[in-house]
Structure formats: structure tokens, C-alpha cells
Amino acid sequence: MFHTLVIVPYIMIKSFLILLSFSIFLHSSQQIVLVVANNFNTSKAKLQCFEDGKRVINTINVNLGKNGLGWGLGEITLTQKIDDAIKYEGDKKAPSGIFKLTSIFGYPKSNNSHMPYIAANKNLICVDESKSKYYNKIIHMPKNKPKSFEFMKRDDLQYELGVVVEHNPHAISQRGSCIFLHVQKAKDSGTAGCTSMKLDDLKKVVKWLDKSKNPILIQISKSSSKEILELYPELKNSELLDDKR
């Protein structure tokens, strides 16, 4: 009796594994921070939080980059139009896409949240020099200082509390670094590329976040509403998503 040997092309196996990983990622995300802007050029947006498909926390007004949004590098590649902006280092655009929320940081030595906590001190920095081996990483100041970085403990209170957004996780040169949810400088004040809000609102978000529930940030223009609703039908009750566009 002869058995036919079936050879499955490598590309088919690879595609299957990508789809499997994609499915696992979608279904493992129990907490979603949804940020929706009217378009790619505005520095204003609204934020909502969902857990297992249910809304938690009232809608929050947030500030985006001074120059709006640009497509970033995250967990899933969404459909991008030819004329949509791409996120680059120093462009003062907040990244659009889907990103993991990995940890929180702040000025106190400890925090009672359910997320890994990074206590900022005068030696803690985030590196935004693209050629540095520490690009897009939060580290303590090395002996050989990077040419460009920002202190995580600032003279102002913008980093008094924050959430690390895992944008550009592979540190691809010039594609953007040091992206956070943090305290706003002032009402209606655009950022250098992060997403900011009032301290009291940020405290509510941080208190709710739980690392064991795989929190993610979905940050988009309304033009991506339909695609997001297809990927995350549990967000169907969000009035921020306009699925008619």
C-alpha cells in the first residue's frame, strides 16, 4: 500500500501561522483603550475604555500630536490610504494603529496599580536617537550618553504618571520613539507625539489597567472605524466609531 506524501509549501505554513498569531492576539485582548480622532490632521480626540465588550470610565477628551496622527508600527497593520501620513521621529504626530500597553511610570517610588511600574528618577531616560543601540528604550543613563534623549523625571508634571505604549517595538530607525499616555501640559495643548489628558482622568485609566488582561491601545482616525469594528465587534456600542464611512 502506497501513501502519497503531501508537501505543503512554506509560504502556506507561514501564512497560517501569521493568521493564527493574529487570531490569538485579538482574542487575548480583554482591555481596550480606544482613542478616535475625526481625521489625521487634528490634535484632539476622545478616549473610551472597554473590558470584555463593556464600557468602563466616562469618555475622556485627549490631546494628540501637534500635527495630528501618522501610521505607526504596532501589533496589526491596518489598511492605509496612499495619502495618509506615516509616523516618523520628530514629526510631532501621534502614532495611529493598535499597540500593547506594557507598563506605567511616575514620580513616586511605588504605585498600587496592576501593571509593571517604573519609578522615574533623575538618571532615567528614554532614548530618541535613532542610531543609538538604546533607541526607543527607557534606561538609566549609560556612561556614554546618547546624543538625544528625554528625562523621565521632568521639571514639570507631565510624566508624573504615564503609560508606556509599545510603538515601534523593534526600534526601526527614524520611525518614532518614547510614546506614552501622559499628563497634559495644558488644556488643548498638542503633544510631541504622545497622547495626553488631565491627571485625574489618567489616574482612572491607570487604576483600571491590568497586565493580566492584555491591555491594548487602538488609536485611529474615524476613517478606520469599519475595519476596527470588523476586528473588534465588542466595540459596536462605541459612538466614537462611525461604521458608515
pLDDT tens digits along 163-183: 999 999 999 999 999 999 999
Q: What is the pTM of this model?
A: 0.88
Q: What is the mean pLDDT of residues 194-219?
A: 98
Q: Is 182 helix (H, G, I), strand (E, B) or coil?
A: strand
Segment 45-51 shows an average pLDDT of 98
Task: Please say if the pLDDT value at position 89 is more than 90.
Answer: yes
pLDDT, residue 86, reads: 98
User: In order of start, what are the domains of the chain with their CATH numbers?
Assistant: 30-235 (2.40.440.10)
List Cβ neighbours of 46 (8 Å cut-off, separation of 6 or more): 35, 36, 59, 60, 61, 62, 240
- 26-46 burial: b if 16+ Cβ within 10 Å, else e: eeebbbbbbbbbeebeebebb
